[in-house]
Amino acid sequence: MNNHVTVLEIDANAILHNLQYFKQKLQPQTKILAVVKAFGYGSDAVEIAKIVKDHVDYFSVAYSNEGIALREAGIDTPILVLHPQIQNIKEIVKYRLEPNLYNFKIFEAFLNYAKDVPLMNYPIHIKFNTGLNRLGFWHTDIPNIVAQLKKSNNIVVQSIFSHLAASEDLNEQEFTVEQINNFAYIIKQIYAHLGYEPMIHILNTSGVVHFPQAQFDMVRVGIGLYGFSNTAKETTELKNTHSLKSIISQIHNVQPGETVGYNRAFVASKPTRSATVPVGHADGISRRLGNKNGFVIINNQPAPIIGNVCMDMIMVDVTKIDCEEGDEVIIFNHQQHVEYMAHKCETIPYEILTAISQRVKRLVKR
């Protein structure tokens, strides 16, 4: 049993609201893939999948073990593994996961495995690199790929996809349009020679917002599902899904000249009340938020973090706050607070959310 008093609350209704928000931007025939990798962006992938499984067509995860966890929890929706490894092919097939084959090494390894088992029409996905330069085949690989696919009845291509590099940045609109056009060219070549037409998809959350003309057959909704878009206006239309809460463990009265925390980083210049909260950098609270760079909310008032963030605790200034030991502490409970933390840490909300340790208890609110 996880009895950590620090809890991450996941709002199921907010998740469904956000999904519906993006759904209303789509053509009726456009399918939705919900991205639940990285523990559902730091929440709980299994719970997120249970919340949305009746409203989406696909899930995607980064690695095979994430997909296995969904299968073992009873999720039977198709699951795309975005970054499978050769050593996991057997487990991928055992759990009916669908691998993204992104280079000839894993492509040929999977074809050989499928032939040896043998498998029949096992679903796979193929990714092309159109400018992100992370994973994916090149357009020049098309003849070789098609030739090998046409020789095999062991596998069937469920989808062909790519990933936009800068869909959130309208200053890069020309580059993004070029990516989309390159992808369309790739699809045209494959459709002309493969003999059947797999699904195609390229849009992520910000792509759905900025490039609706490129919906193709399916879109992938990731960070948007969890309450964030890449524009402030869009984010205000979404609901907060993650709330990180704790309690006050102890209150200290610190006299002038006394210090708080490691390296005596905070020195009291006047009588100060400090509250110790059981959450620290091992729980995902960056050390950059120490020394008054970050704050928590206690009884509706901001309490700045004083001194250095410890592994398991933070100390906050509650001199002007009427509170006592055992009172609730809100680490964050809305998108603007997460964005503030991200700004102070010189990062993005993705990292703030996914950094929340697995030792923090998850609680789904329905």
Return the active site residues.
Answer: 37, 262
242-247 vs 218-221, strand pairing mode: unpaired
Query: Would you call 87 exposed, middle or buried from its count of C-beta atoms within 10 A (0-12, 13-18, 19+)?
Result: exposed
Strand order in the sheet with 250-254: 250-254, 272-277, 314-317, 301-306, 295-298, 328-332, 242-247, 7-11, 361-365
Q: How far is Cα 263 from Cα 315, in angstroms, rounded to an integer?
A: 14
Say how far apart CA 127 and CA 150 lie, in whole Å.
18
- According to DSSP, the residues that pair with 251 across neighbouring strands are 275
**Which residues does 58 contact at the CB level (< 8 Å), separation at least 6?**
31, 32, 33, 34, 77, 78, 79, 80, 218
- Give dist(CA 337, CA 304) in Å, integer: 13
Q: Which residues contact 230 (CB under 8 A, 6 or more apart)?
A: 167, 168, 169, 205, 206, 209, 223
